[in-house]
Each structure stands twice: as structure tokens, then as C-alpha cells.
Amino acid sequence: MYNTISVNPAYAGSRGVMSIMGLHRSQWVGLDGAPRTQTLTLNTPIGDNERIGLGFSVVNDEIGPTDETFIGADFSYSIPTSDRGKLSLGIKAGAHLLNIDFQQLTQFNQNDALFERNIDNKFSPQVGIGAYYNTDKLYVGLSAPNLLETDHFDESTTSSDSNAISFLAEERINYYLIAGYVFDLNPDLKFKPAVLSKLVFGAPLQVDVSANFLLYERLTLGVAYRWSAAVTGQVGFQISDSMMIGFAYDRETTELGQSQFNDGSYEVMLRFELFKKYNRMLTPRFF
């Protein structure tokens, strides 16, 4: 919701100020090897007309014996479509590094040759594209953060033996569709329903719907629902015009959520923004 730049490069510079955000997520707390994610992003408009946007992001994912790091750069160009609306087109380029420590696994056969050599900093390039349209109240985005379906494999396991087993993981293209609208219920209260959909061929469609209220331009309260997966409660507070902090808690609606070893998922984020003019307010402020 506040990390759009990670999935859509066209978002770069759309807030009209330099925006820096850090995020940490601990998923399925209590399960051994459960996912943990750290994200650091920066994006800013460039030039007097602010048609060019630049972004930078670092994302680290830890899941079981794997540690994956993505480093990417974003470029966007905006085209005014009306007095209030603009269409931005963006491209993302980056690198993906994969590490797998097989020694963290409980091995049935301690002498299995497949686990003798770890995967260290396996490099693969990434290229993505995106489009983002917004007005003061509305936003719609469509993107594919990585178009390259790279194969990751452990070269140490390959041989001339046709029966040899090798590890193989293929990157699938993730398509994202996001949309939201801000309703001014009264001068001190805004309401924003939003949706985020992710399509990956070979996997179930993921749909997140959310409803957030912004009170007095400071306090954000909301709930979200991931279809057939989880319910989320979230709160955010605008500490100052330049700094915001947020917290979210997920609870699984699947059988995993009933496990005594799963205490839910926690997420915390901090956003800091540098204003070009001291009297300038963010427009729109809610996305």
C-alpha cells in the first residue's frame, strides 16, 4: 500500500517530493524458517516540470535456507492528460542475488551429494515495466516488475549423467494491478478503498482489498482482506509533514492460521519525505 515503487516503476516521483521508506515484515511468526522481508526504497521527481522520476530499491527476503536480495533502479516519465490527471510510464532494471545454505536443512541422508555445495550469490538480471495513472483522488497502475523468467540452478549438481538430479527454480512473471479512490467524507475525514491484484500463471490469483480512513491528515486506520488467505488490521500516524510510521498485523484465514506455531505476521514501516517548498502539502497525500 505504501510501497508501490517496489512493484511499479512508473510510481517513481509521483508524490512530487523525495520519498524514502524502510519496511520490515516478519511472516508466520513462530514457524521455523518463516519468511522475513526488509525493504529500503527512495524515489523522487527530477526537473522543474517534474515529468521525470527516479527510484532506487533494495529488497531482502529470507525464507528457510534461502536468502535473496534484489537491487533495482527505476525511471519514469509522466505525461499530463488533463488539468488534474497524468499518465506515467516506467522501467525497472536490477540484479537478483540468491543464496542457499543447505546446511540449515535437516537431511535424511547426510552423505547426499546434492547438498555438498551451497549456492552463493547466484546472479540474475531483472527488467520490469509499468504504467501508472493518477489524479488528486484516483490512481490505477499496471505493471510487471520482472519480465525475465530466469532459471536458478546449482551447477555443482550437473553432470553428463542423464539421470543426475539438479535443483531448478524458474522465475515467473508477476503481473500487478492496483487501483484506489479517495472520498472526502468531511473536511477532517477521508476514506480510501483500494485493491491490489497479482497474477502469476501456474499459481492462484491473489486479490487484496482494503479500506482505510484518514483522520485530520494524521491518523490512518484500516483493514484489509487477502482473498482466501488473511485478514489485516493496520494503523499509521503522520508524525510530521515529512515523517510517517505505520504498523500492520495479519492473521491467516487458512488452516495455517489455526496452528499453535503461527502467531501471525507483523509489519512496520517508516517513511520520510523531503519537501521542495516548506509551504507545500502532498497532493494526493493518501497514496
Asked if 194 and 1 touch (Cβ cutoff 8 Å), the reply is yes
pLDDT at 236: 96
Question: Which of 27-31, 109-113, 159-163, 266-270 has the largest mean confidence?
Answer: 266-270
Sequence-distant (≥ 6) Cβ neighbours of residue 119 within 8 angstroms: 98, 99, 100, 152, 154, 167
| Cα–Cα distance list, 217 to 184, 191, 283 (Å) | 11, 11, 12
Question: Which set of grid coordinates corresponds to residue 45?
Answer: 521527481
Under the banding of pLDDT at 50, 70 and 90, the label for residue 278 is very low
Residue with cell 482489498: 209
The Cα 224–Cα 209 span in angstroms is 6
- At 146, give phi and psi (nearest 5°): -145, 120
The residue type of 144 is: A
How confident is the prediction for the chain on average, in pLDDT?
A: 88
pLDDT in tens, 24-59: 999 999 888 899 999 999 999 998 888 999 999 999
pLDDT at residue 17 greater than cutoff 60: yes
Kindly tell me the burial class for residue 187, based on how many C-beta atoms sit within 10 Å of its own C-beta (0-12, 13-18, 19 or more): exposed
Average the pLDDT over 18-23 and give the result: 96
Least confident of 69-78, 82-91, 116-125: 116-125
More confident residue, 146 or 281: 146
Under the banding of pLDDT at 50, 70 and 90, the label for residue 103 is confident
Question: Which set of grid coordinates corresponds to residue 182?
Answer: 479517495
Q: What is the pTM of this model?
A: 0.87
The residue type of 74 is: D
